[in-house]
Amino acid sequence: MPDRRNLLLLVALLIAAAGTQLLVWWLQPPPKPNEMVGPPRSSYTLNDFTLYGLGEDGTPSFRLVAPYLARREGDDSLYVNAPKYTIFSDDGADWHGTSQYAWVSSDNSLVKLVGKVDMHRPAVGKVKAAEVHTSDATVWTQDKRMASSAPSVIKQTGSIMTGVGMKADLDTHTLELLSNFHGTFLPQSKKQ
């Protein structure tokens, strides 16, 4: 009889253990899915597009034309390859340029031009034509300002200036080199 009791006790313990395990599986919340599945994905991408960034007053402040754009989830900023852009000026002396890449903040107030940056402004009225060659520039589109800490070249009619670091006020047409300035100024012909 003791063997039979031990056997019944063992069977009862096995049934209780199995029931407990089933109860744990049933009451336990489901495992959370792995949130990181591969690299971050774009919210969307665009190919061969034109984008207009609007200012606070609703007027266009800049235009980007490029072969590829990706909008990232979470921060809603834009990543652009090989953009051609125009930064609009109130007096029509718009800046046109290219860079290797660009990043645009979600509110369109900040544009980072990454890699080689080449910009030009045609002569409009009393505003002289100008060129800027630099790299890694930041543009504040609402304030119409631009800056770079990289070596920069500014070409205007009759002058070529080089330096390290550059600031520009695109509305007042002021271009400033910050350090290590070198300039070449061509003589102006006298008008009679």
pLDDT by 10s per residue, the chain, length 192: 568 888 888 888 889 888 888 888 888 887 777 665 555 555 888 999 999 988 888 888 899 999 999 987 777 889 999 999 999 888 888 999 999 999 998 888 899 999 999 999 999 888 889 999 999 999 998 888 999 999 999 999 888 999 999 999 988 888 899 999 888 888 776 665
The answer as to whether 7 is a domain residue is no
- Domain around 152: 42-185
Helix then strand count (H, E) for the chain reads 1, 10
Are 121 and 95 contacting, i.e. CB atoms less than 8 angstroms apart?
yes
The answer as to whether 125 is a domain residue is yes
What are the pLDDT digits (tens) for 2-41? 688 888 888 888 898 888 888 888 888 877 776 655 555 5
Q: Report pTM.
A: 0.71
Compute the distance between CA of residue 83 and CA of residue 46 in angstroms, rounded to an integer.
13
Half-sphere exposure for 18 (CA within 13 Å, toward CB)? 6
The answer as to whether 147 is a domain residue is yes
What phi and psi values does residue 23 have, to the nearest 5 degrees? -65, -40
The answer as to whether 25 is a domain residue is no
The answer as to whether 22 is a domain residue is no
The answer as to whether 156 is a domain residue is yes
pLDDT at 158: 85
What phi and psi values does residue 179 have, to the nearest 5 degrees? -155, 165
Q: What is the CATH number of the domain that holds 156?
A: 2.60.450.10
pLDDT at 36: 59
The answer as to whether 76 is a domain residue is yes
What phi and psi values does residue 35 have, to the nearest 5 degrees? -75, -25
The answer as to whether 37 is a domain residue is no
pLDDT at 75: 77
Instruction: Render the burial of 161-175: b for 16+ CB within 10 Å, e for the rest.
Output: bbbebbebebeebeb
Which residues fall within 8 angstroms of residue 72, CB to CB, at 6 or more apart?
Answer: 40, 42, 43, 79
How many domains are there within the chain? 1
